[in-house]
Amino acid sequence: MLRISDSELRFVSHGYHFDDHGRKYIRVYASLYFVEIHVRIPKHKEMHIRAITPDFPYKIWDNWVVINVARLDIPNIGNPWTYIENYIDNRLKEVWFV
């Protein structure tokens, strides 16, 4: 029998995200029901967060901004293979450092 834990977050990907505000180092964790994005806070930088929705999924944890989202809350807009990537990209555009 296959044993799958639905609550265990696993490391999926990492790298740099580039946008108009520069680059950010990110790590992505996923489980069957959640996606968690970690954005590293650079030393000696000021952080800005602009939330486009009334719910605020951001938490500050050590040197990271943590965004935890349920997969059911991610809108299924566009290509079904890339809607999670598009959601992550849009959330990362809301965080920048100066």
Task: Report d(CA 53, CA 36) in Å as an integer.
Answer: 17
Among residues 47, 41, 35, 49, which one has the least CA distance to residue 94? 49
Length of the chain: 98
Please state whether the predicted TM-score (pTM) of the whole model is above 0.95.
no
pLDDT band at 61 (very low <50, low <70, confident <90, very high): confident
The ranges assigned to domains in the chain are: 10-97
pLDDT band at 13 (very low <50, low <70, confident <90, very high): very high
Task: Report d(CA 40, CA 65) in Å as an integer.
Answer: 6
pLDDT tens per residue across span 34-58? 899 999 999 998 888 887 667 777 8
Give the pLDDT confidence score for residue 49 in this predicted structure. Answer: 84
